[in-house]
Structure 1
Amino acid sequence: MEEEQREASAAAAEQAANEAETSDAAAEELAQEEQAPGADPRIAELEKQLEEANNRYLRAQADFDNFRRRTLKEKEELAQYASLKLIGQLLPVVDNFGRALQTGGEQGDLQSYSKGIEMIHRQLWQVLEAEGLKQMEPVGQPFDPEVHQAIMQVESDEHEEGIVVEVVQPGYWLKEKVIRPAMVKVSG
């Protein structure tokens, strides 16, 4: 009986040892899976894709920051030198005014001096018109408070009420925008 108990104890101990080994092996396998996420190729591929996407995001963010700084600098330069072209076109007009002033006092020929000033005025208008400046011609047109500034209302037999009859100070358009309304007298 003692021998049977020993054999039974030995069998139970062996079975317990086997179960412990199986349990230890399962725990060890689970621990390895938790410790080595790269063991599953899908996880490794997803982690690689995540890292690549993160790197692309960081590069795109840096490119955008550089683009924003560059466009801000270009905008500042454009505002600073916006009138450069116009000034370059006006310099010959200024030169001609200088020449006219020098010769006007020396020669004393009022008619040629007057003709020279008219030519310079025409040259100045050519430059301004090339840039999109137009003078308003409101006489005979209905009064429009968007483009005219009425300074006086006058009686007129030849115009009906609300018509511009005289321009006191000309108004100007720059392309499609009013830069100065015309001061006008309106029939009443």
Structure 2
Amino acid sequence: MHNNDPHASNDAQDGHDDLAAESAPENAELEALQSQLKTLEASHAELRETVLRERAELENQRRRMQRDLEQARRFANEKLLNELLPVYDGLEGGLAVEGGDLASMREGISLTLKALLKVGENNGMVQIDPLGQPLDPERHHAVSMVEAPDKAPGTVVTVLQKGYVLNDRLLRPALVAVAKD
């Protein structure tokens, strides 16, 4: 069953060559696609690593900010309290004095009050003392009206308790008595 026809073997060879010629572009295309796939997979892995690193960095920054914010909250009053220490020391020293006359005690209290007001001013606090000024309902709270013939109606004639403002925000209104109409 051997074919001795010389043309038969050439036809088989030509068929094999045709198959090889047809599959050569397909193989080249397959190799190109596989190469592109490898490149894309490498790029994907690199991008994935970058995303993971960036996520970790964001988490670390969030933790640092949280820690810094907590520290800021815990020590926000440190400057103010350091400024209050001399006032505290002055009061303690005044209490430690045995005897003494009333005038020197008043002087010590006055100096302590001035020191305390200075600490407030250094931290943005301003005292409201509206004596003789017209009533300002935004900053004053009128608790009584009194006869004051020499004052214009609505004028503050007595300050019962001074008010305070912190950086333009009212901490406490001044309690006042005003002249009647």
With normalisation by structure 1, the TM-score equals: 0.74
Tell me the matched-pair count. 177
Q: Does 1:127 align with 2:126?
A: no
Corresponding position: 1:185 with 2:157: no
C-alpha displacement of 1:139: 2.7
Structure 1 unpaired stretches of 5+: 1-5
Amino acid paired to 1:123: A
What is the match of residue 34 of structure 2? 35
Counterpart of 1:62 in structure 2 is: 56
Mapped pair 1:78 → 2:72: yes
- Superposed CA RMSD: 3.0
The SS at the match of 2:108 is helix
Unaligned runs of at least 5 residues, structure 2:
none
The one-letter amino acid paired with 1:80 is R
1:172 matches 2:164 = yes
TM-score in terms of structure 2 length: 0.76
Q: C-alpha distance in 2, partners of 1:145/1:127?
A: 27
Once the two structures are aligned, what percentage of the paired residues are identical? Answer: 34
Comparing 93-102 and 155-164, the one that deviates more: 155-164
Secondary structure of the structure 1 residue equivalent to 2:138: coil
Q: Which residue of 2 aligns with 1:23?
A: 22
How is 1:104-119 mapped onto 2 (pairs within 5 angstroms)?
A: 106-119=98-111
Q: Distance in 1 between matches of 2:43 and 2:153?
A: 78
What code does the residue aligned with 1:102 have? A
Matched residue SS, 1:89: helix
